[in-house]
Structure 1
Amino acid sequence: MVTLNHPTARKMSEEYLTPYLPNALQPIAKISAEGQRRIKYAQEEAELKQSLEEDAIRNATNNAIKEKIKSFGGNETTLGYMVPSYANHGGSPPKACFVSLITERDSMTQILQSIDEVQVKFNKNFAYPWVFLSQGELDETKKEMIKQAMTDSMNGNPEVVDITFAEIPAAEWEYPEWIEENKAADSLIALANIPDGDSRAVRYQARYLAGFFWRHPALDEFDWYWRVDPGIELYCDIDYDLFRWMQDKNKVFGFTLSMSEAKEANEKIWDVTKKFGKDFPKLIAKDNFKAFVTKKDSEDFNNCEFISNFEIGNLNFYRSPAYRKFFEYIDKEGGIFYWKWSDSIIHTIGLSMLLPKDKIHFFENVGFHYEKYDNCPLNDDIWNQYNCDCDQGNDFTFKSTSCGEHYFDIVKKDKPEGWNRLP
């Protein structure tokens, strides 16, 4: 018995079938050897035609990618390097994952809370995988607790969400060889008056997140990440795919909170950045977002940063030769340890200098909480549409130590009604 699986083959075979059927009206019939030969030939012809069409599409896509890369100045630029990760526009789901860093300081209660928040408010509808990067191997009890939290969030189906546990290489969580440890120790004392200013572990973590997490082999298969820190909360239901939205809108980085960091923490980082720009002028993007990190009507640094506890971004930005060179330049200055240059400020400056400003997006509809900071939609329509459960009076976007108003002014975005009446 011959089964016609390919629609084109089925159509082509009709003219061959008729002479060999004892009754052309019968839905099932035995076909002679000649009839089977003709059907097989028709199927092979159809499959060959389909294969050639797919090859043509693939070649056309590859040629288009090459032309796009060339138009951005080649693979050395951030936009040129990222082109392949946007070729999936409107196609299958993006190659994306959640990334959660677990250190010795983090509690399982907060880790499980974060998982539940993201799964219930977003990922139960999309089932994107998770990657947990830990300082040392997680014990089996903690792994099972995480797996159970995932299973519970997906209505008891343990197969829906892929989970990867991976260790952070020890060499990426210590002083690099060029750091003078006595000088670094002095900074812990000098900056003890600012949050985490006396913490060596926080500096190790900052360096890892600024320059190494995206190199981990566990992330090699992914183009996109959503950083999930222990203890975060989501205030609103997210009923659309943020990863696909970022991909299809040609965005690179999304944030919910911004703030002005303590000046003492960022000592000299802007001087180093300006020197980098002079040494590598071709890497600085046209129509960049430098205005976000400088004061109005001046070139002076304003200490503004995207708070990194919520980040959605394209991993290939960090993998690009331009960002790698930027990070290496910053890293060799030692400011992560001699002052307190954070992953937030390094990411922010890198994004602002190496990308056009329209590649960075503020998610005002993603209600988010971390420690004392809230992003709660002030637009009532958005607040209601996404079923938000937060106090708009606690929104941090337009508070005095936030950089939200500065951001809205730069991108010429209308501020929500009542933004300037908040306490």
Structure 2
Amino acid sequence: MPAFPILSVSRKPILLFLFVTVFIFLYQIASHPKVSRTMQSSAYYTNYDERACLPQRVLDKNPPTKKAKAAIVILVRNKELEAIKETVINFQNVFNNNFDYPYVFLNEVPFTEEFKYTIRQAAPNASRIEFGLVPEAHWSYPSWHKKKYGFVVTLLENKNTIPSLWKTVQQYAKSRHIDISMPQSPSSSPLSSASSKRVNNNNHNKRLLFPYFIDPSTGDYNLCHFWSNFEIASLNLWRSPEYRDFFQYLDQTGNFFYERWGDAPVHSLAAGLFLSTDEIHYFEDIGYQHDLYRHCPTKESSLGCRCTCPEGTTDKSIDHDQYYDTCLPVWKQHVKHEKKNLNWNVWS
């Protein structure tokens, strides 16, 4: 048989051809929208200066010239050990191993030895871990804060549901020697500073809130009360011997049942009997609506924090601060009057 000559073809062009073909194939796959989206780095902010998560090799190749003077400060309690342990392990692995910022753990009570040991095991490469104690005065309510009752809406009560409540409260105050008389105006008498002091059997020289509920023209109940659908109160008020005594006195009349006395006027008048005006806080800065009635922070107060309250009055939302049965103007006038009396007493 005749022999056919074997063509001597160079291997380099064939390898080059295969390489180009594979490259084009992989490029087409990587360019596919479904693939390209998964390969893009993600960040919480689109205008972030850096990627959301820098690869370790980038840090190894271009380490920061210097790190911030900072520490990782964590407020945590002993009972939260397991949760914070997992957080520290994760945080150390994905971030702090690169920078070695010191940890500072703070608690309202001393950390247990178990807590300290577990945290050190969670971050074995951390060069510095400190455990501190926050003083109780810094952790809890400040000694000057002293507010015991807070409201956001004050309005008129339905008179038909409390026909005898005011008379009963007056009788209780008299039986317990609580002075609920209206204070005199500072300019009416040189002795007004003394006569305007409210006195009860436990709080001498304490100016009670009670005059807020008195109609100055008649001396009767003006029907104002704090709407208890929203109220923030110290439990020390409701648990106090004075309030429990007051409630028992009212309860024995049977008129919670027979007249439908509500919790709102009872809470309000109790605050009037046992608290001073400066122990009451009006939450002007909280937007709130119950049924149709609504309160929104006023623009004049500049207290609304990202509050999206509707404006005006509609069939679904009533601006109660401007409504006919609001007691807000009465409250503001009362506070103004109390401040005037307080200043008079100080200078007297």
Q: TM-score range by the shorter chain?
A: 0.3 to 0.5
Higher helix share: 1
What is the TM-score normalised by the length of structure 2? 0.47
Asked which structure has the greater CA Rg, the reply is: 2
TM-score (normalizing by structure 1): 0.39
